[in-house]
Structure 1
Amino acid sequence: MDWIFLLLAGCGEMSGVTSLGYYSNTKNKVALGAMIVSFVFSFTFLYLSLQTIPMSIGYSIWTGIGAAGGSLMNMWLFNESKSFKRFFFIFLIIISVIGLKFIG
């Protein structure tokens, strides 16, 4: 169950980062509210997951999901650059997080 909490926390982080991008572009109050709700959701599930998952692994996975997922969502939704270099480094984030899980 803790891993599901961690995945939910990562999805909340992704949503928060995407809402932050939308808010910074539009100054829309709904986006601000969505950002706050997303981050509260994210931190709540991160807290729950870290009750049994080691902090180093849980935080790395949560950050990786948020960084990689947020970048991909912003590339898709806000038409940010879709260069090979960006995809390559996002891939490295994902591979690094998977590697930490297996050696941790």
Structure 2
Amino acid sequence: MAWLFLVIAGLCEMSGVIMINKFHKDRNWQSLALLISGFGASFLFLALAMKTIPMGTAYAVWTGIGVCGGAILGIYMYGESRDWKRLLFICMVLAAAVGLKLVE
């Protein structure tokens, strides 16, 4: 169950990052509320996951999901660069997160 909480925390982190961009553009209270909710839920689920998963592993996987998810959403939602080098490094972050799970 802890790994499910960690994945949910990462998805909420992605939501918070997207809402930062939306709030920067719109500056309305709904965007701000979604931004705070996304990060709040992210920290809550991260804390739940860390009851079982070691802190270093949980934090690395959580940030990996947020980094990769944010970069991929930026590519698809905001037309950011799809350069092969960028995609290679996103894959490297994902591989590192999987590697941490395998050696746990």
* 1:1-104 paired onto structure 2 within 5 Å: 1-104=1-104
Q: CA deviation at 1:28?
A: 3.5
Deviations 1:12-36 (A, max 9, x none): 0011111112222333432221110
Cα 1:78–1:29 shift into 2, 3 Å: farther
Percent identity reads 39
- Equivalent pairs counted in the alignment come to 104
Structure 1 segments unaligned to the other structure (5+ residues): none
Could you tell me how far apart the structure 1 residues matched to 2:61 and 2:93 are?
10
Deviations 1:28-75 (A, max 9, x none): 432221110000010000001100110011111000000000111111
Are the counterparts in 2 of residues 21 and 74 from structure 1 also a CA contact under 8 Å?
A: no
Could you tell me how far apart the structure 2 residues matched to 1:46 and 1:35 are?
17
Could you tell me how far apart the structure 2 residues matched to 1:85 and 1:27 are?
33
Could you tell me how far apart the structure 2 residues matched to 1:22 and 1:84 are?
27
Are the counterparts in 2 of residues 3 and 49 from structure 1 also a CA contact under 8 Å?
A: yes
Deviating runs (4+, > 6 A) in structure 1? Answer: none
**One-letter amino acid of the structure 2 residue matched with residue 65 of structure 1:** I
TM-score norm. by structure 1 comes to: 0.93
Structure 2 segments unaligned to the other structure (5+ residues): none
